[in-house]
Structure 1
Amino acid sequence: MKTYSISEVAKELNVTAYTLRYYDKEGLMPFVERTASGQRLFKESDIAALNIIECLKSTGMPIKEIKTFIDWCTAGDITLQQRFDMFMERKSVVEKQMKELEETMKLIEHKCYYYKTALEAGTEDIHKNDKIEIPVTT
């Protein structure tokens, strides 16, 4: 069975070795084996688990909640419902994030159009009759 070093795994996941050490310290990697000298030995299944951790983290899930998920995985089939419910909640969070990002993209696309046409005309005056309200922040 092939094993990987912490630096190889960090490179594969596009994170730092420090991040992986932090995850280990926080109890997110109870599955990772160590050599007699304490060096971490990662297997393919460990990398797959770390990909899930990175996925959950990217949704904004706190490390403490990810730790709970890892504990549920360790507990086995008795926690299938909790894990399912957690992923359904994460799905809802990501759908909301995507909707917010779509709205952000609409505004960005509008501003790209706005400035492109203003540049082509050499002035913003071509937009003085636009019906778009610009929110004013104070």
Structure 2
Amino acid sequence: MRQLLPGPAVWLLPPLALGALVACVLAARQARGDAARLRRALPAQGTVVGVEVNSSQQSFPQVRYRTPDGADVVARAHSSSDHARFAVGQPVGLRYDPYDPTWIAVDGLPTGSAATGVAAVVLGVVAVLLLVAWVV
């Protein structure tokens, strides 16, 4: 049989596969958690009070809103936009987790659970391929 990697480099495959498998499990757990939050999320109206831009130029709006019981909450969206489409003072619709009001999903932004689910599948496939390459 032909070895994919020569010599001691072949022993890198199991740790890489384990790392990909752990990342797969964590991504799947995150996707499940986000989906559960979205199912119980309540709608609200808020106002953008700030926009955080990371090094990849993704914009995370910070929103102030009021819960039905009258509590004022300022929260940062957990998903982002790759272009600056939020301005301070802009009204936005959102959904928030009643058990954790600092978790919000701003209307029009992807929730991240779909992307995280795809990442979980890709990492699972990578883990399997690395293990197959190690065995063969």
TM-score w.r.t. the length of structure 1 is: 0.29
Q: Which has the larger radius of gyration?
A: 1
Question: Which structure has more RCO (C-alpha within 8 Å, separation ≥ 6)?
Answer: 2
